[in-house]
Amino acid sequence: MNQKKSKRPSASQVKKTEVVCPNDTNPMGLLQGGRLVEWMDIAAAVCAQTHAEKICVTASINQVDFNKAANVGDIITITATITRAFSSSMEIFVQAYARKVLEGKKYLISEAYFNFVALDENGKTTSVIPVLPGTAIEKKNFEEALQRKKKRSYL
Residues 7-40: pLDDT tens digits? 999 999 999 999 999 999 999 999 999 999 999 9
Residues 48-65: pLDDT tens digits? 999 999 999 999 998 899
**Domain annotation for the chain: domains and CATH numbers:** 9-150 (3.10.129.10)
Task: Please name the amino acid found at residue 108.
Answer: L
For the full predicted model, state whether its pTM sits above 0.85: yes
Q: 52's torsion region: left (phi>0), alpha (psi -120 to 50) or beta?
A: alpha
Residue 155, class by beta-carbon neighbours within 10 Å (0-12 exposed, 13-18 middle, 19+ buried)? middle
